Amino acid sequence: MSIDFIYPEYEIARNKDRCINCRVCEKQCANEVHKYHADLKMMQADDLKCVNCQRCVSLCPTRALKIVKTDNTYKENAHWKGRTMSEIYLQAGSGGVLLSSMGNPVDYPIYWDKILINASQVTNPSIDPLREPMETRTFLGQRPNKIERDKDGNIVNNMAPQLELSTPIMFSAMSYGSISYNAHESLARAATELGIYYNTGEGGLHEDFYKYGANTIVQVASGRFGVHKDYLNAGAAVEIKMGQGAKPGIGGHLPGAKIVGDVSRTRMIPEGSDAISPAPHHDIYSIEDLHQLVMSLKEATNYTKPVIVKIAAVHNVAAIASGIARSGADIISLDGFRGGTGAAPTRIRDNVGIPIELALASVDKRLRDEGIRNNVSLVVGGSVRSSADVVKAIALGADAVYVATSALLALGCHLCRSCHGGKCNWGIATQRADLVKRLNPEIGYKRLVNLVEAWTHEIKEMMGGMGINSIEALKGNRLMLRGVGLNEKELEILGIYHAGQ
């Protein structure tokens, strides 16, 4: 036999003075960590199975539980960290690719945290959003380059189809399958109430959610799951997914175990079959090919809906975006390397792609330099954590942001990063009926609405502080930003001055 025991990273600490043996932790743990020992009349926990999702901690009525990082450690080594060593043991045992979920957790620079926002003092007045109007409404889509007039001199409406957002925040793509029915319902209802959009991801649109179509972006990805004419026409916009920030360059794989019942019907594939999205779209090998798909989708939707092209932020992102802006697409969505996922190979998630802040700045600049910025709107996602990140993104040149991890956190996710296990204790990344019901959309959608409303308040406050009263005036306004602790090159790419300058 091989010796492959790895001491668990986290341990469950139970305060025996407080535990009343109510067994709530036992019933709520899909990983079967907690167990009541009838002989000893006490609860016990198997740390080895714990994923640190905090469900038991959150529900323990006497606050008897906490989860702590273990102090068991390999001999310290700056080069060979404990996690690195454990991963080698795992792979030596399994021979398999390591899988992970949610966004890149590695300690790369977070540029949002090295950018500071300006405020008015003395010479230009700040605005109080409680007393004066503050416009957060945003439109996404192509802008006409010139005003056209008819023979009588009246302005001709030559606007391409637009998405109207009450606030520059949308819920990014998460497929039905990777997340649960109740999670989708929460997102759809919240988007409808907020006057924003959520995105179906590549799993198709459940028939129950067609009624939220006016606030839905339908996605077409390389697997083409669930794509048909009614689906395309059900949404307010169509998104072509070329890449995903968490796993640029590779496709997706939803295990057959999750393709059950409605998920199978919605994806239009047989139950139990793996849903494999190829790495490339097999019909797209050039911008011209992309143009064909963009135009096919516009034809299918009678030129009434904007088409979004979503790409992962990679090294040549500016050149790629320049191509997309000429492909007929209305909106480009950029997904940074910290974007989440339901499952990705660990090495790819942790090592491929670039930070969204740099990608956004370089794409916005490139499109402006080439005079094609008005061809497209820019939406960025993949690490937007707060209203401050939203403001910074818009000042760097984004038209709106996509949030997904933040939305899932609002629904209860504690970033245990075990989505690929399919046993989400919070009822989000699972298809197990007993777990799915843990997320009551009645609670979920209100929490999402609360979150976005709170952020919108904060965005207004920050804009007011800068003396700016609309998102439109903040857009690409990089003078409102200063870097701190950044080198010349980083400042140059971000197109901002250093603090103090």
Partner 1 sequence: MKRIIVNEKWCLGCRLCEYNCAFANSGSIGTTPLDMAKALKDIVINPRIKIEEKDDICFAVSCRHCKEPLCVKSCITGALTRVDGVIRINKEKCVECHTCVLVCPYGAIMPSDEGVMQKCELCVQNTGGEPFCVKGCPNKAIEFKELGGDSV
Nearest distance in Å: CB 427, partner 1: 9
**Strand ranges (E), 86-150:** 99-100, 115-117, 138-140, 148-149
Among 442, 450, 492, 497, interactor with partner 1 by CB under 8 A: 442
Of 192, 205, 111, 198, the residue nearest 494 (C-alpha): 111
State yes or no: residue 451 binds partner 1 (CB under 8 A): no
Beta bridge partners of 14: 65
Of 326, 335, 311, 377, the residue nearest 162 (C-alpha): 377
- What is the Cα–Cα distance from 329 to 326, expressed in whole angstroms? 7
**Strand ranges (E), 429-490:** 481-483
Among 258, 438, 460, 475, interactor with partner 1 by CB under 8 A: 438
Nearest distance in Å: CB 407, partner 1: 19
Among 257, 268, 443, 479, interactor with partner 1 by CB under 8 A: 443
- What is the Cα–Cα distance from 72 to 305, expressed in whole angstroms? 56
State yes or no: residue 434 binds partner 1 (CB under 8 A): yes
- What is the Cα–Cα distance from 375 to 355, expressed in whole angstroms? 24
Beta bridge partners of 309: 240, 332
Nearest distance in Å: CB 445, partner 1: 12
Region binding partner 1 by CB under 8 A among candidate stretches 55-63, 107-115, 160-168, 456-464:
55-63
- Give the x/- contact pattern for partner 1 in 7-46, rule: CB under 8 A: ----------xxxx-xxx--xx------------------
Read off the DSSP letter of residue 76: P
Among 91, 124, 374, 440, interactor with partner 1 by CB under 8 A: 440
Region binding partner 1 by CB under 8 A among candidate stretches 87-95, 104-112, 222-230, 439-447:
439-447
How many amino acids of this chain bind partner 1 (CB under 8 A)?
A: 22
Region binding partner 1 by CB under 8 A among candidate stretches 138-146, 246-254, 392-400, 433-441:
433-441
CB 435 within 8 A of CB 423: yes
Per-residue tokens: 144: 């006409």
Nearer to partner 1, 64 or 312 (CB): 64
Nearest distance in Å: CB 15, partner 1: 8
Nearest distance in Å: CB 20, partner 1: 4
- Give the x/- contact pattern for partner 1 in 57-96, rule: CB under 8 A: --xxxxxx--------------------------------
- 53, 201, 412, 419 from 425: Cα distances, Å: 7, 22, 9, 10
Read off the DSSP letter of residue 106: S
Radius of gyration for the chain, computed over Cα atoms and rounded to the nearest angstrom: 24
Region binding partner 1 by CB under 8 A among candidate stretches 66-74, 358-366, 437-445, 460-468:
437-445
- What is the Cα–Cα distance from 180 to 488, expressed in whole angstroms? 45
Residues in contact with partner 1 by CB under 8 A are 17-20, 22-24, 27-28, 59-64, 433-434, 437-438, 440, 442-443
